């Protein structure tokens, strides 16, 4: 049971602290659950632990460990799932998705000089940086590393992207007008791209 308590506490820590501290908490959670499950299995070698009510307690603990391992690896609360949950919570705490979308629609409506755009790494999509002076108070509190405009929706429709992450993990809050749907071409490269739909026209996108 101690392993489950520690694992749940570390999972909560991962959600609260975010990336990159998230990596440490996830490592501790995985090791704790593995050792906890191993301890339960070794404990069942003793007859006293195979008799009720200890047997039921041990089986319940083992079931809980396996279930939590599943949810944190291939289940809904895996790494990207927890980061998505954290980002969605931050948006809610800073004013909500509606306010963020209203700001993004206003930014998209402003005229831009085509010469100010720059090609992405793949040289397929043109991006326009949104200057910090145009960030809303909510966006500043969300603390993205970069805010830019890119054609990320179907039919060449543009969206505003708030960029986060570093190293091997990058993700974006992607906002467009209501009815915006991600462009399937963006999932062709990289292959492990994940989209989480928050509401109509608002997404969290894990690009790699």
> In this structure, are 119 and 41 located in the same domain?
no
**Is residue 156 one of the residues assigned to a domain?**
yes
**Is residue 88 one of the residues assigned to a domain?**
no
Q: What is the mean pLDDT of residues 150-179?
A: 92
The last residue of one of the domains, among 48, 77, 106, is 77
Tens digit of pLDDT for each residue in 71-105?
777 777 787 888 899 999 999 999 999 999 999 99
CB 187 within 8 A of CB 153: no
**Cα 128 to chain centroid, rounded:** 24
> In this structure, are 37 and 125 located in the same domain?
no
- According to the model, what pLDDT value does residue 20 have? 64
CB 163 within 8 A of CB 170: yes
> In this structure, are 100 and 198 located in the same domain?
yes
Q: For residue 85, give Cα distances in angstroms to 108, 138, 177.
A: 26, 18, 22
Report the C-alpha gap between 208 and 194 in whole angstroms: 8
> In this structure, are 128 and 36 located in the same domain?
no
**Is residue 39 one of the residues assigned to a domain?**
yes
The last residue of one of the domains, among 16, 49, 77, is 77
**Is residue 26 one of the residues assigned to a domain?**
yes
> In this structure, are 134 and 59 located in the same domain?
no
The count of domains in the chain is: 2
Tens digit of pLDDT for each residue in 174-198?
999 999 999 888 776 655 678 999 9
**Is residue 90 one of the residues assigned to a domain?**
no
> In this structure, are 69 and 124 located in the same domain?
no
* Domain hosting residue 41, numbered range: 2-77
- Reference 19, options 74, 69, 90; nearest CA is 90
Report the C-alpha gap between 22 and 122 in whole angstroms: 29
pTM: 0.77
């Amino acid at each position: 049971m101690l392993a489950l308590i520690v694992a749940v506490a570390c999972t909560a820590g991962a959600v609260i602290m975010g990336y990159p501290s998230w990596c440490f908490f996830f490592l501790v959670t995985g090791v704790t659950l593995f050792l906890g499950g191993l301890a339960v299995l070794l404990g069942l070698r003793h007859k006293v632990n195979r008799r009720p009510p200890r047997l039921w307690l041990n089986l319940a603990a083992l079931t809980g460990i396996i279930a939590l391992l599943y949810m944190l690896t291939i289940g809904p609360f895996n790494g990207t799932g927890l980061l998505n949950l954290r980002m969605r919570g931050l948006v809610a705490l800073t004013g909500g998705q509606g306010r963020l979308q209203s700001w993004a629609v206003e930014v998209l409506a402003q005229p831009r000089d085509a010469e100010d755009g720059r090609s992405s790494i793949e040289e397929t999509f043109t991006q326009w940086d949104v200057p910090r002076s145009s960030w809303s108070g909510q966006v500043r509190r969300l603390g993205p590393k970069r805010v830019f405009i890119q054609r990320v929706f179907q039919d060449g429709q543009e969206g505003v992207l708030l960029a986060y992450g570093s190293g091997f993990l990058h993700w974006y809050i992607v906002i467009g007008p209501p009815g915006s749907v991600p462009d399937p071409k963006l999932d062709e490269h990289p292959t492990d791209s994940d989209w989480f739909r928050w509401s109509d026209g608002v997404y969290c996108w894990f690009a790699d």
